[in-house]
Structure 1
């Protein structure tokens, strides 16, 4: 394990930039995983990180010490920081002071969709995006396609909300969703509070693409026109609609229920 004690260290400056800036993360093709759960999930599903960063105080935590030992056994770079320096990097309050620096996966853009997928059209809240990814992974969906206006999937907030779902999904960003829909041969279901067809009336046993839109504006008109079906989740009470992440979870697990039946 190497030790960094200076704020002027180039590697520490790189970490600060990645922790603070989505633009820096996109440009570098790298991001930070914060906390025991995400780091354990990465080790289990993806292997060694590019770099493991830990505070001196965190090494007294048995879970952290085990993760660090695992990284060293995999010949990953490990760097220790004083607690004060580490505190600037983490966005987790009362966290355990453990970070992985990882390369952001950049899967090759497929020509079409052939399996059940999620299309995110301008979903801007990182918490919503992360929750949608988590539900998708839990429901057995394997691919997520994001328009240019969607929150960056590899930001720390999205990563924390998804709780490791990134590592079992193929995530494609900056996708022209209209062209993708036109090239694909599976049904596209657009969620809309104004639709007449209810979710539970649609046969979901075959692969479908779930089209989910902006929190306030919904799915863009040009994409809505390409949808095979516009569907609504019926609900009781006077609440106008569901949060997009909650609606996504209902849709994904209704599909899982139908397939199981």
Structure 2
């Protein structure tokens, strides 16, 4: 285990950039996982991180010590930093002061849609994106495609909201949703509060692609017109519509219910 004691350490400076800048994360193709749950999930599902970073005080935490030991057993790099320096690396208040530095997984984007997937058109709130990823993973959906206007999926806020769902999904960013829809071999269902067809009237037993739009503006017109179905979730009361993450959960688990 190595130790960093100075703010001028080059590796520490790189970590600070990754912790504070989405642009830096995109450019480096790396991100930070913060906390016991995300780090354990990565170890269980993806293996060793590129680097494990832990505060000196956190080493006395049994859960953290176990994760550090697993990393050392996998011959991953482990570095400790003073608690006073760790604050600049974490966005979690009262966290356990444990981080993994990981490579942002990348894969060649499919040219068409063949399995159940989620298409995110300009969903900007990181909490919503993370919640959608978490629901998708829990419902057995395997692919997520994000338009350029969607929140960066590997940002700390999205990672925390998704609670490890990233590690069971294929996530494709900067996707050309129009081209994907045009080439799709499965139905594409666009969610719209103005649609006439109800969600519960659609046959969801086979693969489908769920098209979800911006929190305020919804799905863009050019994508809406390409969808196989425009679907609404019926609801009672005076509330105009569901939050996009809540709507996504209803859709994914209705599909799961129909598939038995």
TM-score normalized by structure 1?
Answer: 0.99
> What is aligned with 1:194?
194
Write the distance in 2 (CA, Å) between the matches of 1:71 and 1:185: 42
Distance apart, 1:123 and its partner CA? 0.1
Write the distance in 1 (CA, Å) between the matches of 2:47 and 2:9: 27
TM alignment of 1:21-32, pairs within 5 A = 21-32=21-32
Write the distance in 2 (CA, Å) between the matches of 1:184 and 1:194: 24
1:174 aligns with 2:152: no
> What is aligned with 2:257?
257
Write the distance in 1 (CA, Å) between the matches of 2:122 and 2:149: 4
Distance apart, 1:87 and its partner CA? 1.2
Distance apart, 1:63 and its partner CA? 0.2
Write the distance in 1 (CA, Å) between the matches of 2:217 and 2:108: 30
> What is aligned with 1:226?
226
> What is aligned with 2:81?
81
> What is aligned with 2:111?
111
Write the distance in 2 (CA, Å) between the matches of 1:56 and 1:27: 29
Write the distance in 2 (CA, Å) between the matches of 1:202 and 1:148: 29
TM alignment of 1:1-261, pairs within 5 A = 1-260=1-260
Distance apart, 1:159 and its partner CA? 0.2
Write the distance in 1 (CA, Å) between the matches of 2:185 and 2:178: 13
Give the paired residue count: 260
TM superposition outliers: structure 1 runs of 4+ over 2 Å: none
TM-score normalized by structure 2?
Answer: 1.00
- Secondary structure of the residue aligned to 1:132 is helix
Cα displacement string for residues 101-130 of structure 1 (whole angstroms, at most 9, x for unaligned residues): 000011111111110000000000000000
- Secondary structure of the residue aligned to 2:88 is helix
CA RMSD of aligned residues (A): 0.4
Cα displacement string for residues 127-174 of structure 1 (whole angstroms, at most 9, x for unaligned residues): 000000000000000000000000000000000000000000000000
Distance apart, 1:213 and its partner CA? 0.1
